[in-house]
Every structure is written in C-alpha cells, then in structure tokens.
Structure 1
Amino acid sequence: DFASEYHLNLKLYYDGNGVLSSLKDQRVTKINKQRKSPVDFSGQIIGTAPLQGELIEDISLAEKDFWSNLFILISGISLISLLIVYASRRIIVSAANSLDKARALAEKKTSELKAAYDEMEHRVEERTSELKNVNIELEEEITVRIRAEKALNKSHERLLTVMDSLDALVYVADMDTYELLFVNKYGREIWGEITGKICWKSLQSGQTEPCQFCTNKKLLNGDGNPTGVYIWTLQNTVNQEWYECRDQAIRWTDGRLVRMEIATNITERKKVENQLKSSLREKETLLLEIHHRVKNNMQIISSLLSLQSRYIKDKHYISMFNESRSRIKSMALIHEKLYQSKNLENIDFNDYIKSLVNDLFIFYGIQGGHIVLNINIENVILDIDTAIPCGLIINELISNSLKHAFPDGREGKIEITSRKMNIKGVNEYELIVSDNGIGMPDDLDFRKTESLGLSLIVTLSEDQLQGKLDFKRDNGTECRIHFKELKHKENR
C-alpha cells in the first residue's frame, strides 16, 4: 500500500545517502593526504600536471559524486512525489468522506424537506378547506347582512315616513353638546333646517345659554341611567304656541345618551282649559255663596225653631224642637266647613267632628269636665254626600249620651273612633261611638222603636250609607257602623 511504499523509499534514500556520504568523506581525506592541498569538491579540478593520475581518480570520484547527488535528487523528488500523492490521497479520501457525509446529510435534509413539504401540503389543503368553509359562511353572512340592511333601510324609511307624518315636533338632541341630531318634517317647516345646530339657539329665541327649563337632568337618575318619560308644558318663544312635551333619554345609534322630545301643539286646548278654569272659578265662587246661604238659611230655621219653642209649655215638645235645632245645626256646620275650605267637595272629618261635638257640649250645657271626650279619627276625608249622614248619626248618638248616659251629674267618658280601610282596592270606613254610661235598656229593640233619633241612625246607616249597624250594651253603649264611600258622582 501507499504507507509501506513510502517507508521503503524513505529507508533506501537514507541508506544510500549515508553510504555515498561515507565514501565521499573517505576519498576526500585520502586525496588531501596525498596532495596536502585544499580541494574544492565542487566538480572543479584543482592541481597541476604532476597530479594527473590523481586527477583522473578525482574525475572518477567527481562522477561518482555526480551520480550520487543525482540519486539523492531523484530520491528527494520521489519522496516529494510520494508525499504529494499521499497528501492527495488523504485529501481525496477526506473529500470522499466529506462528500459521503454531505450526500447523506443532503439525503436526510431532502427527506426532511419532503416530509415538511408533505406536511405543508396537508396543512395547506386543510387550511384551504377551512378557508372555503369560512368563505361560504362569510358569503352567507354577507347575504344575511345585506338582507338585514335592506330591511333596516326599509324600516328606517317607514319610521321617517311616520315621523314626518306626525302633527307634532319630534327631535333628538345630544345631552352634552345640545346638538340637534334629528328633526322631523313638522319641526323643519316651523323652525327651518336646524339639524346639526344647537337646540336652545334654534328652537327658542333670545337664549344666550342652555334653557333653564331644560329637562336633561330630570331624565337621568343618580347612576346616569334613563328614568322614563317626563311630561311637561311649555310656551315656545318663537311662535308663542303652547306645547305638551314628552321627553325621554334614549340610546342613539352610536351608543351615547340623547334626549328625544315629542312636542304636541296644545294651544287650542290651553285656551279651552283657561276658559274652563275661569268658568270653574266662577262656579266655585257661586258654590261658596250657595253653601254660605244654605248655612245662613239653616241658622235662620234654627233660630225660628228657638223662637217658636219659647211659646211651648210642654217640655216634651220643647225637647223635640231642641233636637231638631241640633240636627239642623249639624247640617249647617257641614256647609260652613265647605265654604271655609279650599275644597268644595271633600271635608276633613276630624275637624268637622270636633266642631260638631264641641257645639253639642255647649248646646246641652255640659260644663265642669265630668264627661271626658276622646276623639280618635285618622286622616279621613269624606265627600259631602257621605259626611252629612255621618254627621247626623254622630249628632244623634252624642246627643243621646249627653242626655241619658250620665244622669245626675255622673262622671263618664265618650269616645269617637273612625278609620279608613282598603279592602280589595275599595275604600271602606268604620265609625265607632261609645260611652261608659248606664247603657240602653236590655229590652229595647233599636230597629223597632218610636225614638226618632234611633230611627234616624238606622235609616242613615243602612239605607243612605248602605252600611252595617251594630249596638253593644256591655259596660255602657257602643254603636259600630261599617260602610263604603258613596259613589255620588255616578248617582247624579
């Protein structure tokens, strides 16, 4: 092989070179001994004629030296050639190994690239399929949106048609900037093309700042959420017309809160209302005068009965006259309370009863405080049709207690209780009048009696008030009446 050949040549070179060097050194030494003069072993002949035999020998030695040097040179060239061949073979082997490795790596990379390519192809196919499905879905969604947009446009057109056909102002304004975002045809015809302008500058005249009556703050609660519809009236400063406004905070198309107002012209209605108010004031004045005159007439009747009783000697008839006067006075007191109050239809029952019972105590001369009066009436308001029979009933019951329950100055107590109840959405009342006097006789049937007072109590309670009447005789006398408020307006 190459290594063995290289080592063999190298050995021959060193061995031959050593032999030649030894021979040369020996010959030069011999010549120098014979000649005893320096010799230049460069191939040049140094000497004279007497040294001719030596010269021939020197020539032979020089020839040998030449061939020796030539051999050395050839051996060196061979060695260099061998080294070059060896190095070339090593390079070729290394290059071949590198090439094999590169080829294997290339095949590996090629395989990996092919696998990656196949994977990529698979993913591309999957993604392409997904994109196709997505594209189909997008096309369907676009179709749906186009249909929805067309439907929305039609709805918008219909809404605009409705808004423009209303005989009322409809506008939408930004709650922060007061910019008018929408104005219907009615508003444009009266106030002009004001969309995009400031509402308080366009809808009102003479305004230098937002209107003091602006409802923006009333349309939102503390959390900034809409509170609902706010209704109010306003006289416009541009055309001097009256409008009933319905304001509400709504979400605009971009999500912001805006104020929508629908203002209906109520100028004619306002004129009718003013006329009705004027007529009502006239009627109230007339009704006050009527109540005042009725009260005065009843007082006149009471006075006439008092004058007539002076000519009657029988105490029984005198008592009858006095009871009639008491009843007339109870009715007159109602008319007096009506024309003294601001409400001509309803009466404060508590105030009325206190005045009525106080007059009865004076009428029957109850002094000294031996009879205690307790009045417990809740916030009960009665109309005149219910108050008059209630007043007459209380008048009869208190009169009976003052006349019969406490004989010979006996001490006692009278209680009047009234309360309002709401039963299944219907206002019902309970009236209780009681005393701790000697009580009614056990054999007395209050429904079958000749007493005018008891007959009035039964008739007024059950017939006029359409209530339930009950008497209790334990520890005195208690009268309990349960009734509903009369629907006098429907009966008229």
Structure 2
Amino acid sequence: MNKKNLLIVEDEGVTALEIQNKVEEWGYSVVGVLSSGEEAITVALDKRPDLILMDVVLKEKVNGIEAANIIKNSYDVPIIYLTAYDDEKTIEEAKITFPQAYLLKPFNDQELKLTIEIALYKHQMEARLKRSEETYRTLAENAEDIIFIISLEDRVDYVNKFAANILGFEPEDIVGKLRQNLFPMDISEKQRKSIDKAIETQSPVRSEIKMALPKGEMWLDTKIIPLKDKNDKIFAVMGISRDVTTQKNTEAALRSSLNEKVVLLKEIHHRVKNNMQIISSLINLQSDYATDESTIKMFEDSKHRIRTMALIHEKLYMSEDISLINFSKYIKSLTTKLLEFYSLKSRLITLKVISDDITMDIDSAIPCGLLINELLSNSIKYAFPDGREGNIVIKMHINDGYYVLSVEDDGVGFPEEIDFMNPNTLGLQIVQTLAQQLDGNIELETNGFTRFKISFKVENS
C-alpha cells in the first residue's frame, strides 16, 4: 500500500514537530512543514499532498482558510483544520472550503489519528462517487435516448441534451420548469398516469406514446423508474424514452401487407370453392345424359369428392386463420351434408361423431376429409342393405403425436372376397392412396363390426 503524503501547515514550531513525528510514526509521509499560508499554497500546488493539516490562524498575510480556498480551487484535496478558535464566525468562514474535519486544540493523538484516517477514507469514497456520477452523466449526455428526472413536485430536475434538443430547447431552459407546462394536455395526462403508477407500485412502468414534436411526430417507448433515498423513500422518478418511430412504421406496414395477403388468400379460397361448384354443376349436367346405373353412380361419387374439397376452402374462407381449419367442426359439416344426400338410405342410420378439438392445415385436411367421405359413403351405401337399421361412429383423436381417425359401423360386415390391401374398387383404392399421401397407417378390424382406423403424424406448423 502506498504511503499517503501529508502537508503540515502550523505556525507553532513545537506543535508542528510533534504532529510530524506522530504522523510519520503512523506510516504517513510528510512533504512539508510550513508556517505561512503563502508557503502552503506554493508547496501544495507543487507537491499535491493527499491531505493537508491546516492551522486556521497563521503568520503573514494569508490565513489558513484563505490558503485552503485557493488550494481547493486548483485541485480537490481533503483538509483538516487545526485551531483553538471555535467561534461561530471562524467556523462559518471555514465551511466555505468544505473541510473534512475541524479539530479543536488541544487534541490528543488518538483524535488526530482517527480524524486523518476518516478524512482520507471519506475523501476516497467521495472521489469514487464523483467519478461514478461523472461517468453516468457522460453516458446520459451522450446517449441518443431521452433521459430525464422529475421531482415529486412535478418539476424537471434533470434532462439530458438530446432530450432538450428533441423538444427544441437547451437543458437550462427546461430544468426547474413544471413538466405539465412542457407538453400538450393529453400527453401530459398520459405521462402523469405512468408517473403516478410508478410511485404507487414502487416499480418501473413502461408505456408507448405518440407525440407531436418540433422535428415531427415521434413514437416514444418510455420507462419510468422510481428513485429512492437511503431510507427507501421515493424522492423522484427517472424516465428513459427511446424513439421507436421506425419500428412502429415497419410494424404498421407489415400489418397492412399481412392484411392484404389474408384478403387475397381468402379470395383465392372463395374462387377455388366457386370453381369446384362449377365443376360439380358440369358433372351434374353431364350425368343427366347417363342412362346406366353404374355411370350415374360414378358421377355422384365424383360430386361428393369435389364437395368434400370445396367445403375445406369454404371453411378456410370463413376462418380467422386462413392457414388452419377447425377439423372437428369440419367433420360435422361434412357428415351432415352426406347424410342429407343419402336421405332415403340414412333415415334408419344413427351417426355419431366424436372428435377432439383439432385444427389442421390444408395439406392434411383435404386428404383426411376425402378419407371420411369415402369411408362414410361406403358404410351408408353397403353396410345396411334392404332398409336395415344400424349405427355409424366416426372418431377423431390425437394420441402421442398422431392423429387417429376411425370410421366404424355395425352393418353386414366387410365382404370376405375383397382383398383390403389390394382392392379392385375405386373407393377403396382412393382410401389406400389417401392414407399413403398422409404417410399414415391404415388398419381394418372386423369382429361383429367393421372399423377402418387410420393414424398419421401430427405436423407442427
């Protein structure tokens, strides 16, 4: 640890020598022992001691207080006054130089030692605090953010240069003014609410405000922070505002662009649905010229498949989210339409739909919807011949990251002569193809019932 250098200014020779011996004994270095204020000024400015022990009344013209004042105007040094004078006038004069201590003669060694130690430590802490304050002030003054401090009386205690320039002023024009007089009433009221909330909750409060400023309109993202004293009592609030105008304009442009794309995609879904209706109508017209039963049946099946796909686009057109469809609602709409078409056959059939709340993208929804169309149509047409009563249950669940679709009926059963894995009927061939398109697995269970079960992976979108 470096020795601290002390300067002793004392016009009583014996006292000065005693002080010198003591401080050197305590580990300090003495750079001079002087008896006049003039000498003290010269040596202090030359040697720059770490602390000065200064007698108030000195020989010659310049007394200790005057010498201390001149020295402290040149550099910051802790001063301890050593004096026999404790009158109010002398003490008041000494206060002007902000001494670290005022030690009355006679004093003992312990008093002097502790006073020197405390003075050096206090000065070191003050210097550190001052450097810290200067650092933060430099940061604040050079920041391209609006930084300000508002007192509890709603006056501006501090504002950095950037903030003042934004408002069209210099800092000295704003400090001390009432905050509410610097802004329009609506802006001032919004600021007041944030300040009051920060004080009430004793926590930072964040807000965004659009302001009309001399340099144009600006969006400010402001954080209000309560400032507390050592007793944890709020004495002011500090605000930091950042210009987010570019960000806000970009967000607005993106929202506008997104809205345009949503409208466009909805229009596409609408037109696709309408085009599918036209195709369905053309098939309907063409089927009027068909005479044999199998051809008419083929036309009807094609129309159901087209309507199944058209219903997907209809749901997407009406949906808030044009990328996802509420598939549980879609199943109910699809099965209702199919039952309406097969009204004569389905009159004695009870249909039950059990589904989780599932949303699905269009790439999965169309093939899955076509699967339901094919399997439900097959059950209605073939499982209940000759007006037989029965039940059809459609289930759609999510299990361990997989969609699980099952279509089950308690009709006459699946024909034994048909090879399910290599079918020769178009409907079952379509079912196999759609399952492969979904990269899924299809199973057929027959045990007093017929159940088709298809499982395929849930895609994270």
Query: Which TM-score tier does this pair reach, normalised by the shorter chain?
Result: 0.5 to 0.7
Superimposed CA distance per residue, residues 117-150 of structure 1 (whole angstroms, 9 cap, x where no aligned partner):
xxxxxxxxxxx99x69x949x93x8766655554
Deviation of 1:408 (Å): 2.4
Instruction: Write the distance in 2 (CA, Å) between the matches of 1:233 and 1:409.
Output: 69
Q: 2:451 aligns with which of 444, 455, 477?
A: 477
- Identify the residue that residue 161 of structure 1 maps to in structure 2: 138
Structure 1: 5+ residue runs without aligned partners?
A: 1-127, 488-492
Instruction: Write the distance in 2 (CA, Å) between the matches of 1:161 and 1:429.
Output: 61
Instruction: Write the distance in 1 (CA, Å) between the matches of 2:441 and 2:237.
Output: 56
Instruction: Write the distance in 2 (CA, Å) between the matches of 1:183 and 1:342.
Output: 47
Q: 1:448 aligns with which of 422, 425, 439?
A: 422
- Identify the residue that residue 330 of structure 1 maps to in structure 2: 308
- Identify the residue that residue 409 of structure 1 maps to in structure 2: 387
Instruction: Write the distance in 1 (CA, Å) between the matches of 2:187 and 2:209.
Output: 18
Tell me if 1:235 matches 2:210: yes
What RMSD, in angstroms, separates the aligned Cα atoms of the two structures? Answer: 3.8
Q: Which residues of 2 match residues 16-31 of structure 1 at below 5 A?
A: none
| C-alpha contact (below 8 Å) 1:337/1:352 kept by paired residues | yes
- Identify the residue that residue 379 of structure 1 maps to in structure 2: 357
Amino acid at match of 1:236: M
Deviation of 1:205 (Å): 1.2
Tell me the SS of whatever aligns to 1:236.
strand
Deviation of 1:325 (Å): 1.3
- Identify the residue that residue 244 of structure 2 maps to in structure 1: 266
| C-alpha contact (below 8 Å) 2:221/2:244 kept by paired residues | no
Tell me the SS of whatever aligns to 1:215.
helix
Instruction: Write the distance in 1 (CA, Å) between the matches of 2:325 and 2:229.
Output: 54
Compared CA separation, residues 219 and 364, structure 1 to 2 (3 A): farther
Compared CA separation, residues 208 and 289, structure 1 to 2 (3 A): closer
| C-alpha contact (below 8 Å) 2:270/2:313 kept by paired residues | yes
Q: Which residues of 2 match residues 86-97 of structure 1 at below 5 A?
A: none
Instruction: Write the distance in 2 (CA, Å) between the matches of 1:480 and 1:244.
Output: 55
Compared CA separation, residues 441 and 367, structure 1 to 2 (3 A): closer
| C-alpha contact (below 8 Å) 2:194/2:205 kept by paired residues | no
Moved more, 402-411 or 210-219: 210-219
Tell me the SS of whatever aligns to 1:210.
helix
Compared CA separation, residues 272 and 473, structure 1 to 2 (3 A): same
Q: 1:211 aligns with which of 162, 165, 190?
A: 190
Superimposed CA distance per residue, residues 165-196 of structure 1 (whole angstroms, 9 cap, x where no aligned partner):
4433234546x654445433321221233345
Q: 2:377 aligns with which of 391, 396, 399?
A: 399
- Identify the residue that residue 161 of structure 2 maps to in structure 1: 185
Amino acid at match of 2:210: Q
Superimposed CA distance per residue, residues 438-464 of structure 1 (whole angstroms, 9 cap, x where no aligned partner):
343467554432344334334434433
Amino acid at match of 1:356: L
Normalized per residue, the structure richer in strand is 2
Instruction: Write the distance in 2 (CA, Å) between the matches of 1:252 and 1:428.
Output: 56
Compared CA separation, residues 150 and 410, structure 1 to 2 (3 A): farther
Tell me if 1:283 matches 2:261: yes
Deviation of 1:152 (Å): 4.3
Deviation of 1:301 (Å): 0.8
| C-alpha contact (below 8 Å) 2:146/2:162 kept by paired residues | yes
Instruction: Write the distance in 2 (CA, Å) between the matches of 1:327 and 1:295.
Output: 13
Instruction: Write the distance in 1 (CA, Å) between the matches of 2:408 and 2:237.
Output: 61
Compared CA separation, residues 251 and 388, structure 1 to 2 (3 A): farther
Tell me the SS of whatever aligns to 2:428.
helix
- Identify the residue that residue 354 of structure 1 maps to in structure 2: 332
Normalized per residue, the structure richer in helix is 1
| C-alpha contact (below 8 Å) 1:245/1:261 kept by paired residues | no
Task: Normalising by structure 1, report the TM-score.
Answer: 0.59
Superimposed CA distance per residue, residues 245-274 of structure 1 (whole angstroms, 9 cap, x where no aligned partner):
253545535534565544332333434444
| C-alpha contact (below 8 Å) 1:201/1:207 kept by paired residues | no
Deviation of 1:298 (Å): 0.5
| C-alpha contact (below 8 Å) 2:405/2:454 kept by paired residues | yes
| C-alpha contact (below 8 Å) 2:227/2:238 kept by paired residues | no
Compared CA separation, residues 276 and 407, structure 1 to 2 (3 A): same
Amino acid at match of 1:473: T
Deviation of 1:333 (Å): 1.1
- Identify the residue that residue 463 of structure 1 maps to in structure 2: 437
Compared CA separation, residues 158 and 364, structure 1 to 2 (3 A): farther
Deviation of 1:229 (Å): 6.3
Q: 2:322 aligns with which of 344, 364, 387?
A: 344
Instruction: Write the distance in 1 (CA, Å) between the matches of 2:455 and 2:199.
Output: 49
Equivalenced residues, count = 346
Task: Normalising by structure 2, report the TM-score.
Answer: 0.62
- Identify the residue that residue 282 of structure 2 maps to in structure 1: 304
Tell me the SS of whatever aligns to 1:449.
coil
Tell me the SS of whatever aligns to 2:386.
helix
- Identify the residue that residue 295 of structure 1 maps to in structure 2: 273
Amino acid at match of 1:476: T
Deviation of 1:400 (Å): 2.1
Superimposed CA distance per residue, residues 62-112 of structure 1 (whole angstroms, 9 cap, x where no aligned partner):
xxxxxxxxxxxxxxxxxxxxxxxxxxxxxxxxxxxxxxxxxxxxxxxxxxx
Amino acid at match of 2:245: T
Looking at CA atoms only, which structure, 1 or 2, has the larger radius of gyration? 1
| C-alpha contact (below 8 Å) 1:291/1:336 kept by paired residues | yes
Instruction: Write the distance in 2 (CA, Å) between the matches of 1:295 and 1:455.
Output: 25
| C-alpha contact (below 8 Å) 2:346/2:380 kept by paired residues | no
Amino acid at match of 2:349: I
Compared CA separation, residues 160 and 485, structure 1 to 2 (3 A): farther
Deviation of 1:353 (Å): 2.0
Tell me the SS of whatever aligns to 1:408.
coil
Instruction: Write the distance in 2 (CA, Å) between the matches of 1:145 and 1:261.
Output: 31
Amino acid at match of 1:354: K
